[in-house]
Amino acid sequence: MEVAEFKELRELNALSVEDTAHLLGVTPKTVYRWENGESEPKKAFVQLLKDRLEYKRDFRDPHPDFTFIDLFAGIGGIRKGFEASGGKCVFTSEWDEYAQRTYRANFHDDHKIVGDITKVDPADIPRHDVLLAGFPCQPFSIAGVSKKKSLGREHGFMDKAQGTLFFDVLRILKHHRPAAFLLENVKNLKSHNKGDTFATIVGALENELGYKISCRVIDGKGYVPQHRERIFIAGFREDCDFDFDKLDFKTPDNGPVIGSILHEESEEAEAEYTLPENAPGSNASCRINDKYTLTDKLWKYLQDYAAKHKAAGNGFGYGLVGPNDKARTLSARYYKDGSEILIKQEGKNPRRLTPRECARLMGFDPDRNTRMIIPVSDTRAYKQFGNSVVVPVITEIAKYMRPYILDQKEKELIPEVVAAE
């Protein structure tokens, strides 16, 4: 690669050496070495700068169908679904620096990612039509309520949520009053803390902020080959007939199988995940890197652990799947032993999924010609995908919400038109 090409791409992207280093997860000294011709950057890094430039050129629509903000954004799974329905992201918040790195590598915005949303004044967040948030589920403390009663002070659902990250969602909704929102969480949110957590959430959204909400637990198994149930809460500022139960999702029985997301021998080798059978750089068949195959020691431990719990009448154990099976839920702890999803291998111990296969399992790579950039270590990648959402499920939800969002936007403009006349 010509030294000038990398430097030109950096400058066309309006990035300093320090910004480039942060984006790629390297040191500024490394970038200087690349530009001085002392060493060459990975092809993936060069492609990232090219993609970033192309994205900036293509995604400059000053009049998108609607705008949204992406809170607790992770690696952008919810965002991808709403961009597919004509939305434009105008604000992003994510505290984890490694998730930020993956997010920046795949979305090339003109706004910075805000780390700590608790320190952000809602007035500093751009106006938006939709709020998106995969907020963490924390226990809502009821400490202090009795004291407030004794002092004659009011306490409501919003007050009860203080001290949790959900409270930050509430204060932004209260300030901006967007047309709609979508919140995502684990299925057990409804039963968390004996139902008090969910009651607090619903009470704050409906009773205190006045939004009309609809909830549904959705299994992504109809779209990707894993059992993954999540609860979604959609809300609209104005009353409408939006109802999650009217949305026909693909049934789990008809969904894809694990073989659809596994590496194929005919694929071009991808460094770290797969190795070429022949010379590097050739398009010959590839094989899975041996590092993903379980060691004899770990495989024996998992088998012994499963046998012990089976004898005790428990259901704990590893999840071994073949190409025609569906997998268990990918979790953020997958990096530890990969036990929930192990791939059968003929003549050898089973293996973990590669991070690329995890991207496909979550719907980030819709086909084998698409490869999202994964600029972090395997451990970080497993955590990120395990904490993310099933992208095609979000895409379906966004499609269904879109006409309601646009309708509420249109109603919002009517008073302005009348005033102008």
CATH architecture assigned to 263-322+333-386: Alpha-Beta Complex (3.90)
Instruction: State residue 144's pLDDT score.
Output: 40
Asked if 342 contacts 294 with a C-beta cutoff of 8 angstroms, the reply is yes
The structural domains of the chain, with segments of one domain joined by +, span 1-58, 62-252+400-420, 263-322+333-386
> SS3 of 275, please?
strand
Instruction: State residue 307's pLDDT score.
Output: 85
Indicate the pTM of the whole model.
0.81
User: Burial letters for 310-320: b for 16+ Cβ neighbours within 10 Å, e otherwise?
Assistant: eeeeeeebbbe
Asked if 225 contacts 255 with a C-beta cutoff of 8 angstroms, the reply is yes
Q: Which CATH superfamily hosts domain 62-252+400-420?
A: Vaccinia Virus protein VP39 (3.40.50.150)
Instruction: State residue 155's pLDDT score.
Output: 45
Q: Which CATH superfamily hosts domain 1-58?
A: lambda repressor-like DNA-binding domains (1.10.260.40)
pLDDT tens digit string along 37-65?
888 887 778 877 777 766 555 555 567 88
Catalytic residue list: 137
What DSSP assignment string belongs to 79-144?
A: HHHHHTTTEEEEEEE---HHHHHHHHHH---SSPEES-GGG--GGGSPP-SEEEE-----PPP-TT
Q: What is the mean pLDDT of each run of 10 residues along the chain (421 residues)?
A: 70 76 78 82 78 59 83 95 93 93 87 89 94 79 43 50 77 93 89 81 89 93 93 92 88 85 83 70 69 93 84 76 93 90 93 95 87 90 95 95 89 51 44
**Cβ atoms within 10 Å, residue 66:** 22
Instruction: State residue 296's pLDDT score.
Output: 94
| Interatomic CA distance for residues 75 and 103, integer angstroms | 5
